[in-house]
Amino acid sequence: MPASLQFRDVAIRTLTAAAHLIGGDKVDRHSEASLIDLRRGFDAEFISAFSEIFNNISIHAYGNHATAGVVKIEISPGDDHLLVVIHDSGKSFDIDSVKAPELEALPEGGMGIHIARSCLDELVYTAGPPNEWRLTKYLTKNGI
């Protein structure tokens, strides 16, 4: 799909539907509202992390150009986890050089990787080309 922020909502709706499949959720899958209802912690955290990564790809890897490039998104729902692999051919970077933000300073930017790391059980980035992001979250016993 295009890596433009204009298409982020399409990706988020798809990932939200996939997140609803994990753990036998009681979401009414016949309701359009169920696609955007993120009251369950698992769904909200996964979508928050994915959104931040998609933003970073669009803004930093592709320079926020509407026609700059594409992302390939592979979704693998399991019984107790969700794995999403994202490939892009944009500018790569060293994820290990991204330091945790000083939260006391209330930074306006630079929080994306920190948010994604906080919301996921595993975040693996491999610089390319193509760049590969592996986002994994497990369903815990309390449903988060």
pLDDT digits (tens, 9 = 90+) for 29-53: 555 545 555 678 899 999 999 999 9
Global pTM? 0.84
Contacts of 16 (CB under 8 A, 6+ apart): 35, 36, 38, 43, 47
- Bond preceding residue 107 cis, omega within 30 of 0: no
| Domains of the chain as residue ranges with CATH | 5-138 (3.30.565.10)
Each residue's pLDDT tens digit, 93-133: 998 887 776 666 655 656 789 999 999 999 999 999 899 99
CA 119, CA 114: separation in Å to the nearest integer?
9
